Every structure is written in structure tokens, then in C-alpha cells.
Amino acid sequence: MKRVRKLFQVLCVLTLVVSLTNCQHDDAINETQQAEALQKEFPFKSSVLSMQEVEVNTKLSNQMRSLATLQSSSSAESVYNETYNFTIATDAVKFVESTENDSHSYTFQISRENNTGSALENLVFSYNAITDDYEASLVTYHFTASQQQEFLLTQHVRTPHEITYESIAVNLSDVVGENALPCTHTYTVYHITPDTGDTFIYSTNGNVQNACQHDDEEGITQCDTYTVIEIDCPNGGTSSANDDGTQNPASPTGSTTGGGNTTPSNDNDDRVITSPILSPSQIISDCMNGNSFNPRLSQEMLIWLQENRSSSTAMSIYLKNVGCDESSQNFVEEAIEAMMANPNLTFEDYIRERVEDLLEDRPFGLIEVPCSELEKWQQLASHTAQPSVFNRVHAIDNQHTTYFTDYDIQTIENAKGHLVNMDYFPVEITSLPINPLTNVAYTPEELLRYFRLNINSFIDNSWAVFSPVVEDFGNFSIDDTDLWNSDDPLTALLTIAIPIDEGTVIVSDYSDSNFTVITLRTPWDGTHPVSGVRDFGFTQTNWGSYIFYTRAVDRMKNGLDYAIANSPIPNDVAFFGSDALWESFQEKFSTFVYENGGNVELTPKETYRPTWEKIKKVLRGEISIDELDCLQ
């Protein structure tokens, strides 16, 4: 009996060891499967094209005509194919291409009359490298209603669904050459995260293999969906149809070319690539009216979407880019109302108008500046000149009535215009320098005054030279030398000689601890595309040192159109001269302090300017206008 008990104990121990070993083995297998499921570099990319962009491809156009899809004019936004009984939407085309070779495809959304189902049908023209031509196929995603809504919101579906593939004969020779025996198809679905580009094998033939590893807790993270269709025909030929534009499971690199044919091939490059696409009006309708209890669009609006396909396409791309949340729904609904009221208004025009309106209330919107930094710029950004400054400008206007009628403080007068630059160049003085005339340390007020009266000694004069305005026009003259050199230079006019051009500023504020200048348009200097405020002064730190600085806020005088037109000039180039000038101030001012017995601490500059590419993305509808805000 004891032997039996001992034997039983040994068997239990062995069972436990085997169980633990199997668990470890299973964990290793799971880790391996996850590693295999995740493919870092996905060799395809997709974009949405207009039909005008597609028609430059003559080979594709010829095949489409052979399929009788282009019987109407080239400007038609949809065409009906009688043979297959579907209508092809040609206003938006999904283009998928390989990043490794010339494999590519064009995918069109199709619809059928009186079809109330939720399946998504796409017509795919895929390039066949062997024949150097395009082949047509019908790819159907058999979504349920909830899956279709999920795909609309996130560009992927997390639950199993069937995908079917049907080769379409472009001409009679294709029909005669078809195999009598059917081909078999294997479908592999991939998910690609847009932020990292990671590739996940999601399912094979509708059987989910891996969970959506990129989803957040609510499962609403957007991703791109791709599907590989392996086609195995009885004659031994194999081709790969990349429905949804994906890589071949047998080839991790996913290289592709051509597809949809039954030509025998051992070349992994023989593939069809595609990515699912909905019609623009359907995308908008499903987003806006997906909640049957609270539809956003009226029947009149839905008809307008069908009749105005170019605007529908632009709005559908916008919704795909920014998502279908309440904010984007409000934006699109208001855009449709505005365009229905004004037939000449495009969606792009509407976005621009909204951006202009937003920047009126959010002047820092163009500049990528931390929200925590805004407070110290607010006062300068909202600076307006004192009444005495306006009085002097108007008095100058009144003194001449013929040629010189051009004086005006630029748009900074009313703190208008879009901010395109904020800069701050400080010098921290831990020990004030000695005044060589008194052999006593400067007070901070005395040092600022000395800097003002000798400003050209503290800057690189190859970038700028400041001088009081001295102009004589016979019956009208200005000489502000004495005013500038006085103890109260308020309203003094200064000419700034800069490379190629000259500019004028007027002293708009003055105290013992600072003086401020704003740009001024004058007949002898002309105008400037940028208007701004620059402040010079000092502040005392909590630890007793003094920070002498120059700080500026500049606005684009001619508005957003001018700013965008000049945006190809990088910010570091556009403001290079200004940065170099005030960096020379930091250097020369520090040198002066050192040479006169003082000490300084190195303090970095701060510059905040627009990211023009981000702004262009807003105007193109690629990101929401809500992105134009300070950085949290």
C-alpha cells in the first residue's frame, strides 16, 4: 500500500512538471506567433486620387473602356456597367502601390440599384507585370450593418467577416481563356497602425488569429486594413490578389506585381493590391446619420451630397482623416449648410474661412508654443500704442496733402493679424558693469539708457543700423534726433537699415525699465509684409540678478493667404537675419558687461514660429482645425 502511495506521489510530481513544461512551451509558441503576426515594415502605401489623376494612365483607361465603364464623358462622376449591373463611382479612387517595386492597383467603389445590404463591393484594376497591363476583379467585403459602421469609424473590423473575389472579364478573349475548373482563394487580412506602421496579421479566411493589438480600450483606434488573396487555379498557376493592399503571407516582405491572372508563376511579385473604399456620399451619410435616433442630415442634404460629388469627396476624405466624432460631425454639417447657401463655396474655401475666424479668437493658433508659455507673451501680443503716438502719426498726415499720405501704424495698431513669430533674446547679469565715466556700477536703469543711445554698438551692423528719422521734403521735414536722445523718446521715429530694404519703427511705449517700438509704414521706406512689436528692457529675478532682453511678436500683415504663399521659405531662413541680429545683441551686450567688470550667465533664446506643413494639412482637410492651438 505504501508503494502505491509513493508511486501516486511520483506520478503527481511528474504530471506537474510536464504541465509546467507544456505551459512554458505554450508561452513560447504564443510569443513566436505574436512575433510572426507583427511585421514591422509593410511594403505598401495608399492614397486617394481623383478621376482626372487616374485618366493620365492610358493603359488603365483603355481597360476601363473595354469594360465599358467610361461610355460617358470623362468628367462623369459615376458610370453604369450594364453587363455586371453595377454603377462605378469614379470621383474618388483608392491607389495602392508597393514601396519595393511597380506593383499597384486602383480601387473603385461600386453600388447596385435598390441594394439595401451592408456589404461593401469594390472594383479593382490591378497591374500585372507579366502582361504589362491591368486586370479587373470584384472584391466584396460581406459586412454586417454594425461591421460597416465600425469600418467607417475606424477603417477596420474586429470581428470575423467573409471576403470574396471574382475575376471580371475585360473583353471577349478573357472570357474564352477562362478555366473551366474554379480557382480556390485564400484571404489574409492585415491591420497596419498609422502611427507606427506596424503590421498585424489579423485573420485568414475569416478566422481571427490575433486580437487587434493596436486598439485602445474602446476599440476605436483607426488603422489601415489590407487583405492578401492567394489564388490557386487547377492548371497549377498561382497569383496573389492583394485585396486591401497587403503583403503575401508566404512573403514577409510583401513585394507585389500584377495579379488576378491564371498564368503559372513562381514569382512572389505576381500580386494584386487593393484597399477597401466607400463612396464619398455613403461615408458622409453613414457618419452623420448612423444614429437613426438622431440623424444629422436631412433628405435635402443627402440629395445635395449626391449632386455635388467633388465637395462630397473632399468631406469624406476629411472624415476619414479626422474621424467621425461629434466635433467633426458639427463641422461637416455646418459646411454643407454653408455650401448649400453659397453654390460658389467649396469645402476647401469653407475650411479656410473657418481657420481665419478661429485665428481671430486664437491669435497664437499658427505658432507651436506651449500653453504654459502664453501668459508671458499676452501683454506684448495685445500691445497698442499710446494716444500720443497716434496723435503724432495723424499730425504728420495732416501736414502734407499731396504726396505723403501713406503714414499708418501697421495692423499691430489694433493687434490684428496672425502671429508668425515670437522671440526672446535674454542676457542675465549677475553683477552689473562699472560705468567708466563715474567708476561706479551702472544702475539697471542707467545701463538700459546707455544701451538705447548706443544701440548700434551692441548689434552686428551688417544686419541692421538704427538711426533717428531725418527727412526733408521742402515744405515738410522730420528730424527726431533730439527726441530719440532725450530722456523721454516716446513717439520718436527710427529708420532701420537692413539688408536690401529699410524699415521704420516708432517708439510706442517708454519707461525707465523698458521701451517698445512698433512697425510703421512710411513713404520713404514702403511697407513690410510682417508687422510687429519689439520690446527692450530688464527685469529682476528673485535671486537678485537682472535679465536684459529684447522680446518681439510679429504678425503676418497680409493674412493667411500671404503666409501660406511664402511658407515654402523655412522659418529658420525667413527669420535668419532677425535671429542673427539679436544673437549678436546677446554676444555684444555680454562682452560689454564682462569688459567693464560685470558678470553674466548664459541664457538661451526662445523662438516660436509656425509649422507650415501642419497648417497646410489643416487647410487640405487632413487634420482638424482644432489642431491649431497651443501645445498642452
114 contacts: CB under 8 Å, gap ≥ 6: none
Going by pLDDT thresholds of 50, 70 and 90, the confidence category of residue 15 is very low
Task: Answer whether residue 256 shows pLDDT above 50.
Answer: no
Number of neighbours of residue 99 by Cβ within 10 angstroms? 12
- Work out the average pLDDT over 359-385: 82
Please say if the pLDDT value at position 78 is more than 60.
Answer: no
Residue 317's pLDDT is 83
Stated pTM of the model: 0.59
Tell me how far apart the alpha carbons of residues 515 and 508 are, in angstroms, rounded to a whole number. Answer: 8
Confidence of residue 21 (pLDDT cuts 50, 70, 90): very low
What is the mean pLDDT of the segment spanning 398-412? 57
- Element counts in the chain: helices (H) and strands (E): 18, 28
Mean pLDDT of 355-370: 82
The pLDDT value recorded for residue 442 is: 97
Would you state the pLDDT for residue 241? 44
Average pLDDT, the chain: 75
| pLDDT tens for each residue of 268-289 | 345 677 888 877 777 788 788 7
Q: What is the pLDDT of residue 431?
A: 97
Phi-psi group of 379: left, alpha or beta (phi > 0 → left; psi -120 to 50 → alpha; rest → beta): alpha
Residue 159 has a pLDDT of 83
Q: How far is CA 372 from CA 312, 630, 632, in A?
A: 39, 9, 8
Cell numbers 507585389 correspond to 256
Split at pLDDT 50, 70, 90, the class of 578 is confident
Nearest partner of 258 among 392, 439, 102, judged by Cα:
102
DSSP E strand stretches across 76-215: 78-81, 86-98, 104-111, 120-128, 133-142, 162-168, 184-192, 199-204, 207-208
Say whether pLDDT at 379 is over 80: yes
Chain segment 302-349, per-residue pLDDT in tens: 888 877 878 888 898 888 788 888 888 899 999 999 999 999 999 989
CB 588 within 8 A of CB 457: yes
Rounded CA Rg of the chain? 35
Give me the helices (H) in 185-292, please.
280-289
85 pLDDT band, cuts 50/70/90, is: confident
| Model pLDDT for residues 591-623, shown as the tens digit of each residue | 999 999 999 998 999 998 877 778 878 888 888
Query: Residue 189 pLDDT more than 50?
Result: yes
Tens-place pLDDT, residues 107-150: 988 877 777 678 889 999 988 888 888 888 899 999 898 887 77
Using DSSP, state whether 128 is helix, strand or coil: strand
pLDDT over threshold 70, residue 565: no
Over residues 248-263, the mean pLDDT reads 31
pLDDT of residue 556 exceeding 60, the answer is yes
Q: Taking the C-alpha atoms of 533, 537, 541 and 545 in order, what is their torsion angle to the nearest 10 degrees?
A: 140
Q: How many residues appear in the chain?
A: 632
